[in-house]
Structure 1
């Protein structure tokens, strides 16, 4: 018959405290034994262990990986340059033992991540549930149940995208190719389900408008190419040095340019970069500026409030989005962009004649 030793009982007690956040004295006795002296000894040892052992969220230099310009954040989580340590609080009156500040994931952040995940519908139903369950598993029972009850209706009524495929493994493997600076030969299906082959140097992965996209440099066309991850049928890594040399991966300013490229490409349609100027007459200039972060704008004097906006954009997706705003937007330059808008509007009008 299995009998746990003291070390194993200590681990079991700590894990149960993490799981439930608060234990009664009777629950502690159920783990370590009925003796009050034994219970007290385990409690004292556990308090000493928690006081002198904590999992740091800082890097080796004692700083966060990304700088956060928020004094309230520092006050909340940092104590004299260190992450707030877990601590055990004894309530002698209630005869309970509680573990504070032990969460490996913050309950507020878990809720936010789950809400974003459900809203984007970027993963199919099975993978969405796997991620949600994994996030919730890092919380104590009380917080887990609170979040579960708040999202239960959304989860039960979740509708995955048409032809939704498993993506988590694909995204991870492609990201590994990016980190390794691999060159990929890809078999890809376009919007019309037509198969084509292309070679790219994958640069980064992003998520937008329901889908995950792989952004990569196409040496044959000397431009950035955007591929929906779920439409990648297969790929292989190119190892031939002659084939790899034409991509010149090390010359691409990966760290500075990729975020800039994303800011210019709504709806993830790749293409040539161009500056487009338009007048905006709609109710929310903030919505325009959020959609095109790389922008300049000014308020125009007129009989009614409107703005002049200059954006830096790439690909035909920008025209799809501008047209979706109807009469709230009037493109004024360059002439080529103005003419393209006229052409599309004329073609739309013909459909209703």
Structure 2
């Protein structure tokens, strides 16, 4: 009979500890032991029982719950962490996007995909996914710079978030190295490379509103300073809007251009130029206008379209998409 009572007391004690953890309370073994008149080892066993309950258990929202010891608070607390829960189809798609972007060195790319497969899939599904991707991973051609960029991208992104000035050495296409002080405002990825978008501190007033684009792999050295810069809300940089107007990563003044498209699929143009507007003409061609920063990148692309493109010499205007 005494054993039954002891079991009931332990049961009530475990539920009480569990309830307190859920409410956010810090559980300290000695305090609980004194409260219930038991040995601290009994409290530790109670906590271990709750840990066992949560071990490898994920709720329907993908939350993984653990009981962790907080060294600062000197007690146990309950911690929930969102886990990666991609489906096989989602994971395969993400892996293909990473591979097709060819923007990372092979070592970094392979680690990301391997970690995703390990985190998202049960053991029996990993073999299938690995077999689907292994040939493409084996033949992956990394960018010629061959540099590991992930840590730099994160550090520069943090500087963007914290509005911190950056001092850096940047190597231009010509090989010339320049020293610049910049105000970083965004990180972008496009066609094999990652870019840092920034304003050049000494030229803000001379060229207001037109940021400079730096390829991150060409940054030889950088130092994130403690100096902060202010971005008024009305002047805040919006990567999404900027991306629409710089599809080729060439900078310059914002302007509009127009041309006539005679190809078979106007959607190929509209997808390539996010700000483009097109109006169908009587002969089946399209009059297209687009708003972009600079004209160098757009001109390169137009020349590559051959007979599908005709310069809009009559300066017709587009009124609808």
TM-score class, shorter-chain normalisation, is 0.5 to 0.7
Structure 1 residues 46 and 251, CA gap change in structure 2 (3 angstroms): closer
- Say which of 204, 211, 216 aligns to 1:229: 216
Structure 1 residues 140 and 308, CA gap change in structure 2 (3 angstroms): same
Structure 1 residues 141 and 297, CA gap change in structure 2 (3 angstroms): same
Any idea what the Cα deviations from partners look like across 1:251-301, whole Å, max 9, x if unmatched? 56436x321111111221111111111100112211110111112111000
1:216 is aligned to 2:198: yes
Offset at residue 313 of structure 1 (A):
0.7
Structure 1 residues 46 and 324, CA gap change in structure 2 (3 angstroms): same
Offset at residue 311 of structure 1 (A):
0.6
Q: Which has the larger radius of gyration?
A: 2
Offset at residue 107 of structure 1 (A):
2.3
- Say which of 67, 87, 99 aligns to 1:118: 99
Give TM-score, length-normalised by structure 2. 0.68
Q: What SS class does the counterpart of residue 166 from structure 2 fall into?
A: strand
Offset at residue 52 of structure 1 (A):
8.9
Structure 1 residues 331 and 200, CA gap change in structure 2 (3 angstroms): farther
Q: What SS class does the counterpart of residue 232 from structure 2 fall into?
A: helix
Structure 1 residues 53 and 168, CA gap change in structure 2 (3 angstroms): closer
Q: Name the counterpart of 1:183.
A: 165
CA distance in 1, matches of 2:250, 2:94: 26
Q: Name the counterpart of 1:32.
A: none
Q: Name the counterpart of 1:274.
A: 255
- Say which of 290, 296, 309 aligns to 1:311: 290
Offset at residue 152 of structure 1 (A):
1.3
- Give the root-mean-square deviation of aligned CA atoms: 2.8
- Say which of 112, 133, 142 aligns to 1:160: 142
Offset at residue 142 of structure 1 (A):
2.2
Q: Name the counterpart of 2:309.
A: 329
Q: Name the counterpart of 1:41.
A: none
Offset at residue 120 of structure 1 (A):
1.0
Name segments (4+ residues, structure 1) moved above 4 Å: 45-53
Q: Aligned ranges for residues 71-110 of structure 1 at < 5 Å?
A: 104-110=85-91
Q: What SS class does the counterpart of residue 312 from structure 2 fall into?
A: strand
Structure 1 residues 163 and 258, CA gap change in structure 2 (3 angstroms): closer
Offset at residue 148 of structure 1 (A):
0.8
User: Does structure 2 conserve the Cα–Cα contact (< 8 Å) formed by 1:276 and 1:334?
Assistant: no
CA distance in 1, matches of 2:264, 2:62: 43
Structure 1 gap ranges (5+): 1-44, 59-101, 336-353
Offset at residue 117 of structure 1 (A):
0.9
Q: Name the counterpart of 2:185.
A: 203
Q: Name the counterpart of 1:299.
A: 280
Structure 1 residues 252 and 208, CA gap change in structure 2 (3 angstroms): farther
Offset at residue 239 of structure 1 (A):
4.0
Give TM-score, length-normalised by structure 1. 0.62
Offset at residue 50 of structure 1 (A):
8.8
CA distance in 2, matches of 1:103, 1:228: 30
CA distance in 1, matches of 2:302, 2:92: 33
Structure 2 gap ranges (5+): 1-49, 64-82, 316-321
User: Does structure 2 conserve the Cα–Cα contact (< 8 Å) formed by 1:275 and 1:334?
Assistant: no
Structure 1 residues 278 and 147, CA gap change in structure 2 (3 angstroms): same
